[in-house]
Amino acid sequence: MPMHSRDKKILVTGAGGFIAHHLTSRLKKEGHWVRGADIKLPEYAPSSADEFLKIDLRDRENCAAAVEGMDEVYHLAADMGGIGYISQSHAEITLNNTRMDVGMIEAAHRASVQRFLYSSSACVYPSHLQHEPDVVPLREEDAFPAAPEEGYGLEKLYTEKLCEYFTQDYGFETRVVRFHNVYGPLGTYDGGREKAPAAIARKVARARDGDEIEIWGDGLQTRSFMYIDDCVEGLVRLMRSDYALPLNLGTDELVTIDELVDIVSAAAGKRLVKRHDLSRPQGVRGRNSDNTRLREVLGWEPKIDLRTGIVPTYRWIDKQLGGAGAHHAPLAAVAAPR
């Protein structure tokens, strides 16, 4: 069956993971032919991709195979996780992501891909701008002078510049997005790589009404959280825009971690007691997205507030745990945010 003129052949890397899985579904609904690529298959639901390559993108030959025949590439594959993982795995994360990112952009350029989108992170921002819970929202230009988070943040910032160099030197069309804490159904919620909303939802689901749960840090550290549907919408809009510089993608709804726990508990209909562990990794004290440029460039910004988005997220995690909220399960630590 011939493709319509608007249809494209699109590669989504990291398609075995959370954001890329949802993005694949969106692109398929729009009528595109989609190839997924990842070292693993999706854990919670089958991929909707037309073709799924289970390959290791740290290998340059695999990068070349993945981009062959593609019009666009959304490069979302990354070795990453919550603060407990990224603060203790600098060498592994930096090596793995460097090999993937350099291999992918080089292969995409050689294959004459029309556009290449790179997924970066708010971890590129200097920590000295994030010392207070009542943080000033981070603007894209605040990434320099550079002082990113060690390991993960440093590698992301380096690859942002690599995208810029490929555009300047070769005329290669690149797009760079800086994610700010994404959550929603089908996201990792256990095992050490989960982010704060999913980890807290897991702990709340396992707790009985009136139980105690442990929070990493004093609970006053702040973040903004973006629901997956808004994330996917932003990715598609950015790819189709003419904007080539890094762009924040997140909400500017700043909440404390204690407030996040209260919102999840309300979604579960439970009253829980917080116990704070100050010995655990906490990340920066405050992080929020300045969406001024996002609104200017895309004429849009994320719309789904945390209280709305946490409901389907919590219900999905509770279902994965077998409705464990009705039972008493051993409580483990709630992960801190990135």
According to DSSP, residue 44 is labeled S
Alpha carbon separation from 135 to 93, 157, 255, 286 (Å, rounded):
27, 21, 11, 5
Decide if 74 is catalytic. Answer: no
Choose, from 152, 189, 227, 314, the residue flagged as catalytic.
152
Please tell me the distance from the alpha carbon of residue 96 to that of residue 328, in angstroms, as a whole number.
39
Helix segments in 111-227, DSSP class H: 152-170, 196-206
**Residue 82: which of 188, 1, 4, 201 has the closest Cα?**
188
Q: Please report, for residues 264, 276, 278, the alpha-carbon distance to residue 286 in angstroms, rounded to integers and kept in the order given.
A: 20, 17, 16
One-character DSSP codes across 123-153: GGS-GGG--SSSPPPBPGGGG-S--PPTTHH
Catalytic residues: 152
